[in-house]
A and B are shown apart, each in its own frame.
Chain A
Amino acid sequence: MKNIIDFFKSFLLLELLKGMSVTGKYFFARHITVEYPEEKTPQSFRFRGLHAQRRYPNGEERCIGCKLCEAVCPALAIKIEVAERADGSRRTTQYDIDLVKCIFCGFCEESCPVDAIVETRVYEYHGENRGDLYYTKAMLLANGDKHEAQIAKDRAADAKYR
Chain B
Amino acid sequence: MINIEIDGKQIQTENGSTVIEAAHQAGIEIPHFCYHKKLSIAANCRMCLVQVEKAPKPLPACATPVTEGMKVFTHSEQAVKAQKGVMEFLLINHPLDCPICDQGGECMLQDISVGYGGGHSRYHEEKRVVLAKDLGPLVSAEEMSRCINCTRCVRFGQEIAGQMELGQAFRSEHAEIMSFVSGSVNSELSGNMIDLCPVGALTSKPFRYKARSWELSRRRSVSAHDSLGSNLAVQTKNNRVLRVLPIENEDINECWLSDKDRFAYEGLNTADRLTKPMIKQDGKWQEVEWQVALEYAANGLRHIANGAGAEQVGALATANSTLEELYLLQKLMRGIGSDNVDFRLRQSDFSSDGKQQGAPWLGMSVSDIGRADRLLIVGSFLRKDHPLLAARIRRAAKSGAQVNIVHSADDDLLMNVAHKAIVAPDALVETLTQVSKALAAEKQGQSTGGDAGAIARSLAGGERVAVLLGNFAQQHPQAAQLQALAQQISALSNGKFGFLVEAANSVGGHLVQATPGAKGLNAAAMLATPRKAYVLLNVEAELDCADPQQAMAAMQAADMVIAMSAYKHHATEYADVLLPVAPFSETSGTFVSAEGRVQSFKGAVKPLGEVRPAWKVLRVLGNLLKVDGFDQDTSEAVRDEAMKGVDVPARLNNAIGGVEARAASAASGLQRVADVPIYATDAVVRRSAPLQATADAAIPQAWMHGDELKKLGVQSGAVVKVSQGQGSVQLFAAADDKLPKGVVRVAAGHAATASLGAMFGTISVERA
- Give me the interface of A with B, judged by CB distance under 8 Å: 64-68, 71, 82-84, 88, 90, 113-114
- Residue pairs across A and B with Cβ atoms less than 8 A apart, 14 shown, are A64-B99, A64-B100, A65-B100, A66-B98, A66-B99, A66-B212, A71-B212, A71-B214, A82-B209, A82-B211, A84-B208, A84-B209, A90-B100, A114-B99
Best-surrounded residue of B98, B210, B212, B214 (most CB of chain A within 10 A): B212
Q: Is the CB of B209 within 8 A of A83?
A: yes
Q: Bound complex: CA of A84 vs CA of B100, how far in Å?
A: 11
What is the 8 Å Cβ interface bit string for chain B, positions 194-221, against chain A (1 contact, 0 not)?
A: 0000000000000011111011000000
Residue of chain A at shortest CB distance from B100: A90
User: Smallest Cβ distance from A119 to chain B, in angstroms?
Assistant: 19
Residues of A within 8 A of B210 (CB): 82
User: Smallest Cβ distance from A151 to chain B, in angstroms?
Assistant: 20
Q: Bound complex: CA of A83 vs CA of B211, how far in Å?
A: 9
Q: Bound complex: CA of A66 vs CA of B213, how far in Å?
A: 11
Q: Is the CB of A66 within 8 A of B209?
A: no
Instruction: Given the known inter-chain contacts A65-B100, A66-B100, please indicate yes or no for A90 contacting B209, CB distance below 8 A.
Output: yes
Is the CB of B104 closer than 8 A to any CB of chain A? Answer: yes
Q: Is the CB of B99 within 8 A of A68?
A: yes
Q: Bound complex: CA of A67 vs CA of B215, how far in Å?
A: 9
List 14 additional A-B contacts (Cβ < 8 Å) besides A82-B210, A88-B142: A66-B99, A66-B100, A66-B104, A66-B212, A67-B215, A71-B212, A71-B214, A82-B211, A83-B209, A84-B208, A84-B209, A90-B100, A90-B209, A114-B99
Residues of A within 8 A of B100 (CB): 64-66, 90
User: Smallest Cβ distance from A129 to chain B, in angstroms?
Assistant: 27
Residues of B within 8 A of A82 (CB): 209-211
Total interface residues in chain B, CB < 8 Å: 12
Residue of chain B at shortest CB distance from A63: B99
Best-surrounded residue of A83, A90, A114 (most CB of chain B within 10 A): A90
Q: Bound complex: CA of A66 vs CA of B214, how far in Å?
A: 11
Q: Bound complex: CA of A113 vs CA of B97, how far in Å?
A: 10
Residues of B within 8 A of A68 (CB): 99
Residues of A within 8 A of B211 (CB): 82
Residue of chain B at shortest CB distance from A68: B99
Q: Bound complex: CA of A64 vs CA of B97, how far in Å?
A: 10
Q: Bound complex: CA of A149 vs CA of B209, how far in Å?
A: 32
Best-surrounded residue of A67, A84, A114 (most CB of chain B within 10 A): A67
Q: Bound complex: CA of A90 vs CA of B203, how far in Å?
A: 15
Instruction: Given the known inter-chain contacts A90-B100, A113-B99, A114-B99, please indicate yes or no for A67 contacting B209, CB distance below 8 A.
Output: no
Q: Bound complex: CA of A65 vs CA of B99, how far in Å?
A: 8
Q: Bound complex: CA of A102 vs CA of B143, how far in Å?
A: 36
Q: Bound complex: CA of A68 vs CA of B214, how far in Å?
A: 10
Instruction: Given the known inter-chain contacts A90-B100, A113-B99, A114-B99, please indicate yes or no for A67 contacting B208, CB distance below 8 A.
Output: no
User: Smallest Cβ distance from A79 to chain B, in angstroms?
Assistant: 11
Residues of B within 8 A of A113 (CB): 98-99
User: Smallest Cβ distance from B114 to chain A, in angstroms?
Assistant: 15
Residues of B within 8 A of A88 (CB): 142
Residue of chain A at shortest CB distance from B105: A71
User: Smallest Cβ distance from A96 to chain B, in angstroms?
Assistant: 15
Residues of A within 8 A of B104 (CB): 66
Residues of A within 8 A of B99 (CB): 64, 66, 68, 113-114
- Residues in B210-239 with C-beta less than 8 Å from chain A: 210-212, 214-215
Residue of chain A at shortest CB distance from B99: A66
Residues of A within 8 A of B212 (CB): 66-67, 71
- Residues in B75-108 with C-beta less than 8 Å from chain A: 98-100, 104
Residues of B within 8 A of A64 (CB): 99-100
Residues of A within 8 A of B209 (CB): 65, 82-84, 90
Residue of chain A at shortest CB distance from B96: A113
Q: Bound complex: CA of A64 vs CA of B142, how far in Å?
A: 17
Residue of chain B at shortest CB distance from A91: B209
Residues of B within 8 A of A84 (CB): 208-209
- Residues in B85-139 with C-beta less than 8 Å from chain A: 98-100, 104
Q: Bound complex: CA of A88 vs CA of B212, how far in Å?
A: 17
Residue of chain A at shortest CB distance from B132: A88
Residues of B within 8 A of A67 (CB): 212, 215
Residues of A within 8 A of B214 (CB): 71
User: Smallest Cβ distance from A160 to chain B, in angstroms?
Assistant: 16
Q: Bound complex: CA of A83 vs CA of B98, how far in Å?
A: 16
Which 3 interchain pairs have the tightest Cβ spacing?
A: A66-B99, A90-B100, A113-B99
Residue of chain A at shortest CB distance from B102: A90
User: Smallest Cβ distance from A49 to chain B, in angstroms?
Assistant: 25
User: Smallest Cβ distance from B143 to chain A, in angstroms?
Assistant: 11
Residue of chain A at shortest CB distance from B142: A88
User: Smallest Cβ distance from B95 to chain A, in angstroms?
Assistant: 13
User: Smallest Cβ distance from A105 to chain B, in angstroms?
Assistant: 19
Residues of B within 8 A of A66 (CB): 98-100, 104, 212
Residues of A within 8 A of B98 (CB): 66, 113
Q: Bound complex: CA of A66 vs CA of B98, how far in Å?
A: 8
Q: Bound complex: CA of A51 vs CA of B381, how far in Å?
A: 60
Q: Bound complex: CA of A55 vs CA of B295, how far in Å?
A: 60
Q: Bound complex: CA of A66 vs CA of B99, how far in Å?
A: 5
Residues of B within 8 A of A83 (CB): 209
What is the 8 Å Cβ interface bit string for chain B, positions 718-760, against chain A (1 contact, 0 not)?
A: 0000000000000000000000000000000000000000000
Residue of chain A at shortest CB distance from B208: A84
User: Smallest Cβ distance from B33 to chain A, in angstroms?
Assistant: 23
Q: Bound complex: CA of A82 vs CA of B211, how far in Å?
A: 8
Q: Bound complex: CA of A113 vs CA of B98, how far in Å?
A: 9
Q: Bound complex: CA of A66 vs CA of B97, how far in Å?
A: 10
Q: Bound complex: CA of A82 vs CA of B210, how far in Å?
A: 7
User: Smallest Cβ distance from B214 to chain A, in angstroms?
Assistant: 6
User: Smallest Cβ distance from A53 to chain B, in angstroms?
Assistant: 15
Residues of A within 8 A of B208 (CB): 84
Residues of B within 8 A of A90 (CB): 100, 209
Residues of B within 8 A of A71 (CB): 212, 214
Q: Bound complex: CA of A82 vs CA of B100, how far in Å?
A: 10
Q: Bound complex: CA of A84 vs CA of B212, how far in Å?
A: 13
User: Smallest Cβ distance from A88 to chain B, in angstroms?
Assistant: 8
What is the 8 Å Cβ interface bit string for chain B, positions 517-540, against chain A (1 contact, 0 not)?
A: 000000000000000000000000
User: Smallest Cβ distance from B107 to chain A, in angstroms?
Assistant: 13
Q: Bound complex: CA of A65 vs CA of B98, how far in Å?
A: 11
User: Smallest Cβ distance from B67 to chain A, in angstroms?
Assistant: 46
Q: Bound complex: CA of A137 vs CA of B212, how far in Å?
A: 20
Q: Bound complex: CA of A71 vs CA of B215, how far in Å?
A: 8
User: Smallest Cβ distance from B561 to chain A, in angstroms?
Assistant: 40
Best-surrounded residue of B99, B104, B208, B212 (most CB of chain A within 10 A): B99
Q: Bound complex: CA of A64 vs CA of B214, how far in Å?
A: 17
Residue of chain A at shortest CB distance from B214: A71
User: Smallest Cβ distance from B142 to chain A, in angstroms?
Assistant: 8
Q: Bound complex: CA of A67 vs CA of B212, how far in Å?
A: 8
Residue of chain B at shortest CB distance from A85: B209
